Amino acid sequence: MIPALVLIITIVAMAIPTALIFIPLAMITGNVMPLYRASNLIVRTAFRFAGIRIAIEGLQNVPAGTACIFMSNHLSNLDPPSLIPNIPGRTSAFTKRSIMKIPGLGHGMKLADFIPVDRSGSVSGAQESVAAARKVLEKGVHITTFVEGTRSPDGHLLPFKKGPFYLAKETGAPCIPVSIYGTETMMAKHSLRLNPGTAHLVFHPPVYASSFATREELMAAVRASISSGLPEWMRG
């Protein structure tokens, strides 16, 4: 449990002064980038102290100056903090609406254009999330989504949710498939135990929704790309 404690203590110790300084600054200036960069620095520092390393491949595949939808598989609670700080530029992400209500954290997420999602599955809730995501992309901000919708319990690639592919078809934003592996042994689902190790991130070439007639075809192409970067046993 020592690496997990080191991770938590480092994040808390750095997050409090960062929030006190950079959240008011973002509110006054309207510029969220200093807060975003400081948050990413906190994660990188905490990871380093906890013995978590990041190995990155294919970052040159991300088109410069274009708002993209990053679509990744999901193995562990370590996936978002492993991936988001290593995406070029600034990225938003979908998050539970309940998290957005946490004092301090929720306000920072709102400033960073994170998109609240209702887990009720209602049509109106989905439409609201897609509309918010469209506005984020129009601002030139990426969106990161874990397309399985939940963490895989055993590492195998799960079925994908349709929402991100609807968004891609509606906006035309390039889809960047991302393969993550290694985190499944570092912090498994339903466990708080942290084992030091290496998280592997593989960024694949863009997949364009306009090249496919249906969401299902687009989904199959993204799935094939993500699968190609995973160890064979994970491919489902």
> Is 47:81 a contact under the CB 8 Å cutoff?
yes
Label residues 44-80 b or e (16+ Cβ within 10 Å = b): eebbeebbbebeeebeeebeeeebbbbbbbbbbbbbb
> In which band, very low, low, confident or very high, does the pLDDT at 105 lie, cut at 50, 70 and 90?
confident
Of all residues in the chain, what percent are helix, strand and coil, respectively (each to 5)? 50, 15, 35
- Domain coordinates of the chain in residue numbers? 52-234
> Is 164:69 a contact under the CB 8 Å cutoff?
yes
What kind of architecture, by CATH, is found in domain 52-234?
Answer: 3-Layer(aba) Sandwich (3.40)
Tell me the C-alpha distance between 212 and 168, whole Å: 11
Residues 6+ apart with CB under 8 A from 168: 69, 175, 209, 218
Q: What are the backbone angles phi and psi of residue 194, rounded to the nearest 5°?
A: -115, 125
> Is 52:10 a contact under the CB 8 Å cutoff?
no
Backbone angle region of 16, left / alpha / beta, with phi > 0 → left and psi within -120 to 50 → alpha: alpha
Which whole number is the average pLDDT over 114-128? Answer: 74
> In which band, very low, low, confident or very high, does the pLDDT at 17 lie, cut at 50, 70 and 90?
very high
* Percent of the chain scoring above 90 in pLDDT: 75
> In which band, very low, low, confident or very high, does the pLDDT at 84 lie, cut at 50, 70 and 90?
very high
Q: 82-91, 114-123, 142-151, 165-174: which range is least confident on average?
A: 114-123
- Per-residue model confidence (pLDDT) at position 102: 75
- Per-residue model confidence (pLDDT) at position 126: 72
- Per-residue model confidence (pLDDT) at position 196: 95
DSSP letter at 206? P
Q: Give the amino acid at 142.
A: H
- Per-residue model confidence (pLDDT) at position 98: 79
pLDDT (tens digit, 9 = 90+) per residue, 151-207? 999 999 999 999 899 999 999 999 999 999 999 999 987 778 899 999 999 999 999
Does residue 41 surpass a pLDDT of 90?
Answer: yes
